[in-house]
Amino acid sequence: MIQQVSFRHLMRLTDDVGLLEHAHYLIPRREEGYTTDDNARALWCVLWWHALLPPGPLAERLQDLSETYLAFLRWNQLPDGTFYNNIDYTRQREPEQPSDDCFGRTLWALVMAANLSPHNHHRQLAQDMIRKALPQVERLRYPRGCAYALAACVQMARGAESTLKTMAADFIPPMARRLANMYEQAADERWRWFEPALTYSNGLLPWAMITAGDFLQHERYLQIGTEALDFLLEKMVHPQGFIEPVGNRQWCTKTVRSVWDQQPVDVFKLALALNEAHRVTGEPKYGQLLVRCRQWFYGDNRLQAMMCLPEEGAGLDGLNETGPNPNAGAESTLAYLMTERLFLEYMDRSSGGHAYRIEVRADTVHIHYPASPSESQ
């Protein structure tokens, strides 16, 4: 089997400023401008994929894209180390309050740049920006920002000896306690979660707890992470076995659970948690469900609808009762591309080495599997 993953649409959405947020079908909607959120996601995505590619034009193009996204993040880091998020097409900052989510997501992307960038000066810049941002970690209060920052600190602490490694390691125990306390305060026997509702990007929370529990060798944190993930799976796996993200119309509480609209980013964040749970625990069910997350984009969902355009490398902007949203914005496109990348990481780990062969043609990666990926598990 040959699966293709194209970067054509990501390139289409990127100009000399950064990654544009929205598209009308496949055409960039310039009037909607840019976000630091999307440029942070994109920096992570292209460097993560670059690490797999052989030298050549596509690898060089992904390096160039990473420079554009890193420059965007640098431009929008404020003097106090936080990040501005929303920028209009005229390069003006829109009125807003600082966002914990944006801060945590960007910190994680910078750690990925510090670890993965092939250019020394890019790594140095990312480290400078991390050093400027780290003091702000203490002020984070919202769960998803805390989760991203916690995972970022663990990633830094696992790296080479440096002052950043020591600084990051100091933040891990208090941040893990903060997230664990959120769980202890909100959870009961029937509701094993960090908040009174399941809303967006839910997989981030068990992902961070499992990551921290593994790093600290803290059994309670690992237990919280796996309990919360298993609870999330109860809510996000349909009785027929396919993945069903919590709908964003009313979310999911103890009394109601929305089916529509389903967002691709929620599938990716679940896959992120499943990949980490499989890495740490070795439980086969987590790997099997990660495969179902990938298959969601190819029609393994309630409407059996394709949620990506592989030849374009585009992810569609959500699934509702009438079918897919035909637009392919940045968030959904990156969710699709990164779920594919997570799947390859899982395949490597499961097979003890490369279970596939990569061939690059123009702007597309062709992945050669010995069998159907679902059959080879």
33 Rama sector, left if φ>0, alpha if ψ -120 to 50, beta otherwise: left
- For 65-109, write each residue's pLDDT tens digit: 999 999 999 999 999 999 999 999 999 998 888 899 999 999 999
Closest CA to 327 of 302, 303, 308: 308
pLDDT at 161: 63
Does any domain span residue 93? yes
Does residue 42 have a pLDDT over 80?
Answer: yes
Task: Give the whole-number percent of the chain exceeding pLDDT 90.
Answer: 92
In a domain, residue 118? The reply is yes
pLDDT at 371: 67
Write a three-state SS string for the chain. Answer: CEEEEECHHHHHHECCCCEECCEECCEECHHHCEEHHHHHHHHHHHHHHHCCCCCCHHHHHHHHHHHHHHHHHHHCECCCCCECCEECCCCCECCCCCCHHHHHHHHHHHHHHHHHCCCHHHHHHHHHHHHHHHHHHHHCCCHHHHHHHHHHHHHHHCCCCCHHHHHHHHHHHHHHHHHHHHHHHHCCCCCCCCCCCECCCCCHHHHHHHHHHHHHCCHHHHHHHHHHHHHHHHHHECCCCCECCCCCCCCECCCCECCCCECHHHHHHHHHHHHHHHHHHCCHHHHHHHHHHHHHCECCCCCCCECEECCCCEECCCEECCEECCCCCHHHHHHHHHHHHHHHHHHHHHHCCCCCEEEEECCEEEEECCCCCCCCC
Q: What type of residue is 19?
A: L
> What is the rounded average pLDDT of the residues 221-230?
98
In a domain, 271, yes or no: no
- pLDDT tens-digit profile of 3-34? 999 999 999 999 999 999 999 999 999 999 99
Does residue 369 sit within a domain?
no
Give yes or no for a contact between 225 and 216, defined as CB atoms under 8 angstroms apart: no
Query: Structure pTM?
Result: 0.95
Place of tokens 């499943």: 274
Could you give the CA distance from residue 33 to residue 52 in angstroms, rounded to a whole number? Answer: 31
Residue 76 maps to a domain: yes
In the chain, pLDDT over 70 holds for what percent of residues? 97
Q: How confident is the model at residue 162 (pLDDT cuts 50, 70, 90)?
A: confident
Is 72 part of any domain? yes
Residue 373 has pLDDT above 70, yes or no: no
Looking at per-residue pLDDT, the higher value among 148 and 377 belongs to 148
Quote the domain boundaries for residue 131: 33-139
Q: State the Cα–Cα distance between residues 164 and 289, nearest whole angstrom.
A: 35
What is the arithmetic mean of pLDDT over 335-354? 92
What is d(CA 31, CA 335) in angstroms, rounded to the nearest whole number? 22
53 falls within a domain = yes
Does residue 13 lie within any of the structural domains?
no
Domain count, the chain: 1
